[in-house]
Amino acid sequence: MSVKIDYYKEFIDEIVSEVEELEFDSDEDLYIELDLSKYNSTENLEGIEWYDCLDLNIRDSFTIDLSEKNPSNISLKTVKYISENIDQIIENACKYICKNEKLIKIYEAFDAEKQYGIPIYEDYKLATRHFYIDKIYIHKEEKDGYKYFGLKGKCNWDSGHGIGILFYKDEVKILGDWDDAACCRIN
């Protein structure tokens, strides 16, 4: 059961006013509502369906008292950035996926008969038919007032390890599997 977190609503109102839902559940996870349904298509592979409610894991140092559990202003600023720029972030992920020679060598290019592989479309936006995002990690590492963040989800080219993308703002830093979204391995 989710409980609205009013004990730091002033931070949310001030920094992430565009984000409508930001909640803790009984496991202290956050959720964020973003409009991602536009990426759904009857041509999405393997029943891939984008959802509007994503898990949000903010990796800040919190106090022990749950009533004082406030994400840092930089984390909230990063969440606001994501909510305002999600289309550009997804677009950049698609561009990076479609031109990733390393992944194409590992998984091969998309094969419609086998329904797997890295999409190599000229229209890179069609890559959203091959993956979806279900979790966002806001990492402790930061640069110039924003945190690095990872997008984790499922994809048709690696059903066992999924997709993980590490971002700084809207720039793809690492594309790989779930671990690459969950761990911030920056040089």
Residuewise pLDDT in 10s, the chain (187 residues): 233 333 334 434 444 444 444 444 334 557 788 888 888 887 787 778 888 888 888 887 654 444 556 678 898 899 989 999 999 999 999 999 988 888 888 888 887 777 778 888 888 888 898 899 999 999 989 999 999 999 999 998 888 889 999 999 999 999 989 998 988 888 6
Tokens at 164, concatenated? 């993980």
- Is residue 12 included in any domain, yes or no? yes
pLDDT tens profile 92-126? 999 999 888 888 888 888 877 777 788 888 888 88
Strand-pairing partners, residue 118, are 109
Sign of CA dihedral 169, 174, 180, 183: negative
Provide the 10 A C-beta neighbour count for residue 137.
Answer: 21
In percent, how much of the chain has pLDDT > 70?
A: 79
- Is residue 19 included in any domain, yes or no? yes
Q: How far is CA 22 from CA 37, 77, 84, 130, 180, in A?
A: 19, 13, 15, 28, 24
What distance in Å separates the CA atoms of residue 20 and residue 76, rounded to the nearest whole number? 13
User: Backbone phi, then psi, for 90, in 5-degree steps?
Assistant: -65, -40
Residue 117, phi-psi category: left (phi > 0), alpha (psi -120 to 50), beta (remainder): left
- Is residue 114 included in any domain, yes or no? yes
What distance in Å separates the CA atoms of residue 2 and residue 156, rounded to the nearest whole number? 31
Instruction: Count the domains in the chain.
Output: 1
Tokens at 160, concatenated? 């066992």
- Is residue 6 included in any domain, yes or no? yes
**Domain containing 167: what range?**
2-182
Q: Are 85 and 170 in contact (CB under 8 A)?
A: yes
User: Backbone phi, then psi, for 126, in 5-degree steps?
Assistant: -70, -10
Tokens at 111, concatenated? 């094969």
- Is residue 25 included in any domain, yes or no? yes
- Is residue 187 included in any domain, yes or no? no
**Per-residue b or e along 113-134, where b marks 16 or more CB atoms closer than 10 Å to that residue's CB:** eeebbbbbeeebebbbbbbbbe
